[in-house]
Amino acid sequence: MEYIKTEQLDHLLKITIDRPSALNALNIDVLKELYEVISSIDIKTIRCVILTGAGEKAFVAGADIASMKEMNKTQAEEFSLLGNNVFNKIETLPIPVIAAVNGYALGGGCELALACDIRIASENAIFSQPEVGLGIMPGFGGSFRLPRLIGEGLAKEMLFTGDRVNAARAFAIGLVNAVYPKEEFLDKAIEMGAKICKNSPIGIKATKQVINEARNLEVSGKINAEARYFAGCFETEDQREAMSAMLEKRAAKGFVGR
């Protein structure tokens, strides 16, 4: 791997996009490496992922404009589909993914953060979807993930103006879950990831699946899907041990994922 670095911390996997000379911009090679890493995660061992960018200046400053400038229509469509396939892989990964956002998260970088389940921001984080200023539109899922997260009106404002949103504003509109000083944000993301890792992997997997499924269902379908995944958590070692421990007022032995 040239552009993607990984570090395993017990059941937590930290993935770093490491192309600081280009502010971690996404080109075809970076996207392919990221897809390969995400696809190779052993979800029997890894229970949560932290995704971040190298350096203090940028999480991901966007798609690589230099590589996009001369694309024809066919090449642009292929590039969009590649990025969307990678981001969809992240969004549908059975385990939670936390984006630890430092510095610029512009265009494709903002879209990458949107594909994650939770976003923890450094106080110097800057978000934007500036594509309309380049004569294009978001190509990696921003047109549907941003409205879903912060509401249609606020999303259209960001998408139509291309304005930059600082960390405080991002928190106020629900774009990020929390903001911390730049010296602390990554540790705070890892701390949250470690907390997630202590909970039932079966329960978390089922919860994430039903949330993702429910987006496309009517209310009755959402209820049925939730009931189905809820039921799937029962008759497992984890469920029996955790509930027995609570009733017996003792510490649970820990979740084993079975």
Please identify which of the residues 33, 56, 70, 131 carries the catalytic annotation.
131
**Which residues are CB-contacts of 227 (< 8 A; sequence separation ≥ 6)?**
none
Nearest to 125 by CA among 190, 181, 54, 50: 181
Please identify which of the residues 111, 183, 237, 241 carries the catalytic annotation.
111
Question: Does the annotation mark 131 as catalytic?
Answer: yes
Q: How far is CA 136 from CA 40, 100, 225, in A?
A: 33, 27, 37
CA atoms within 13 A on the CB side of 244: 12
Question: Does the annotation mark 111 as catalytic?
Answer: yes
CA distance 238 to 235: 8
Q: How far is CA 60 from CA 148, 164, 222, in A?
A: 21, 14, 34
DSSP 26: B
- The residues assigned a catalytic role are 111, 131
